[in-house]
Amino acid sequence: MAAPTLPRPQPDPQFVLRGTQSAVHALHFCREAQGQGCQLLLSGSLSGLVHVWSLQTRRALATLDGHEGQCVTWLQTLPHGHQLLSQGRDQRLCLWDLAEGRNAIVDSVHLKSVGFCRSTVLARAPPRWMLAMPGGGNDEVEILEMPSKTSVCTLKPEAGAKLGMPMCLELWQQADSSPRPRLLTGYEDGSVALWDVSERKVYSRIACHTEPVMGLDFDSQKSRGVSGSAEKALAVWSLDEQQALKVCRTHELTNPGIADVVIRPDRKLLATAGWDHRVRIFHWRTMKPLAVLDFHTSAVNCVAFASDGLLAAGSGDRRISVWSLYQCT
């Protein structure tokens, strides 16, 4: 008689970071600005602080205080130089110089929106980069050329569209002979739209969810993306050669509420941050469920992958769990 199949044991975090003193709402991996270039993890908290964590000592190397006690919702390092962008609910986007331990704000941009929509950047010829952020109008997205802060355009849906506020943004461009910047935007009405930034027009738009889009990510090599919302489903969609978006499939979830979705840099795994306190891992090509990480005692607000495949999750329980799963090959 065959032995019964035992359930796979619950994986544990490789380690846990404590000490943020408030809920964690943003995470980002980067390399140290000096020395051996050791890997760092940046976290943004509800109390307005950014913590710089050493993954070697598992302690905070520095605490950045630039958002007047207002929640930090987004963190991103620039690909050239040692600069960090942090966005807060104080309607301010700060540019930090992290070189040689300076940890100083060198510039800032005023945000016209007080919402939770995270900004996005696209690297241009150094030191130029493009910034997309929520605009002044309820349904607008503003595009700036940085670091000059020159206005490129304001993207506003056509009259009568009633898409609501932009909830999440993703700038990207195709690697062809004449790359044109494109912007994927998830809206309050549950739709995802693809904008041609140069032409200031919508290529296509699809209805993905019945609730506001809380997170999206896009795989430009496979022309395929994913989005999550407050409902019990992930939407997987594709982009064809005519720049038309199409919903490929939906993946039903056990519990409602997705706060963040992230595709691993090697495009093999997908991680979701759940309101049900769990992180779910999927095979990105097939959407086969691979693992449920049940560690946190409050909603998971954000997830982030490092280039080597390490996964971090930030929660309302004020802890950051760091996981080593299905290593990059």
List Cβ neighbours of 160 (8 Å cut-off, separation of 6 or more). Answer: none
CATH 2.40.128.630 fits 116-220, yes or no: yes
Neighbour order of strands in the sheet with 213-219:
213-219, 224-229, 233-239, 245-252
- Cα–Cα distance for residue pair 32/100, rounded to 1 Å: 9
If we measure between CA atoms, which residue out of 308, 320, 240 comes closest to residue 273?
320
Tell me whether domains 21-111 and 116-220 share a fold: no
List Cβ neighbours of 145 (8 Å cut-off, separation of 6 or more). Answer: 124, 128, 130, 131, 151, 152
State the sign of the Cα–Cα–Cα–Cα dihedral 206, 168, 223, 147.
positive
Three-class SS state of 103: coil
- Cα–Cα distance for residue pair 158/150, rounded to 1 Å: 24
Query: How would residue 6 be classed by pLDDT, with cut points 50, 70 and 90?
Result: very low
Structure tokens at 144: 């700036």
- Cα–Cα distance for residue pair 270/81, rounded to 1 Å: 29
Q: How many CA atoms lie within 13 A of 31 on its CB side?
A: 12
- Cα–Cα distance for residue pair 269/244, rounded to 1 Å: 25
pTM: 0.93
Cβ atoms of 303 and 273 closer than 8 Å: yes
Instruction: Return the CATH fold of 21-111.
Output: Thrombin, subunit H (2.40.10)
Mean pLDDT estimate for the chain: 91
Does residue 34 register a pLDDT over 70?
no
Tell me what pLDDT residue 125 has: 79
Q: How many CA atoms lie within 13 A of 197 on its CB side?
A: 27
> What HEC string does 177-243 produce?
CCCCEEEEEEECCCEEEEEECCCCEEEEEEECCCCCEEEEEEECCCCEEEEEECCCEEEEEEECCCC
List Cβ neighbours of 213 (8 Å cut-off, separation of 6 or more). Answer: 167, 168, 186, 187, 188, 190, 191, 192, 227, 228, 229
- Cα–Cα distance for residue pair 260/265, rounded to 1 Å: 16
Question: Per residue in 189-244, pLDDT tens?
Answer: 999 999 999 999 999 999 999 999 999 999 999 999 999 999 999 999 999 988 89
Query: What's the mean pLDDT in 308-326?
Result: 95
Q: Are strands 129-134 and 141-146 parallel, antiparallel or unpaired?
A: antiparallel
Question: Per residue in 84-106, pLDDT tens?
Answer: 999 999 999 999 998 877 888 99
Tell me what pLDDT residue 289 has: 95
Structural domain boundaries in the chain: 21-111, 116-220
List Cβ neighbours of 328 (8 Å cut-off, separation of 6 or more). Answer: 264, 265, 266, 268, 308, 309
